[in-house]
Amino acid sequence: MSRKTEIVIEEGSTNVYPDLGYADAAEMQRKSQLAAEIACAIKARRLTQQGAAELLGVDQSKVSRITRGQFRGVSEAKLLELMAKLGHDVSRFSLLYG
């Protein structure tokens, strides 16, 4: 006796955070985009997490958390500061996020 289970697929929005019920969804999306940019910049420069930490002036564990998308407790301003230290022109982000 096999029972067929109906699979329901719900289409989400372009921002997963409100879909998951986060009250600060817009901020979370902006921070996730900044964290992704930071991770890409670190990878492009072929930095180790320790090398990135030294360049950025933060602990290696913070670099690890940010590049894995764990950025709660890190402000947008701090993420922008880290991007600037990686050589990115943050003015375009400041206009979007500021």
In angstroms, the CA 76 to CA 46 distance is 24
d(CA 8, CA 68): 29
Closest by Cα among 61, 93, 64 to 77: 93
Predicted local confidence at residue 1, as pLDDT:
59
- Alpha-carbon gap, residue 81 to 71, rounded angstroms: 14
DSSP state for residue 3 in the 8-state scheme:
-
Give the pLDDT confidence score for residue 96 in this predicted structure: 56
Query: What is the dotted CATH code of the domain comprising 24-97?
Result: 1.10.260.40
Q: Which amino acid is at 98?
A: G
Would you write out the chain's pLDDT as a tens digit for each of its 98 residues? 567 888 988 887 888 888 888 888 989 999 999 999 999 999 999 999 999 999 999 999 999 999 999 998 899 999 999 999 999 888 776 555 55
pLDDT at position 5: 87
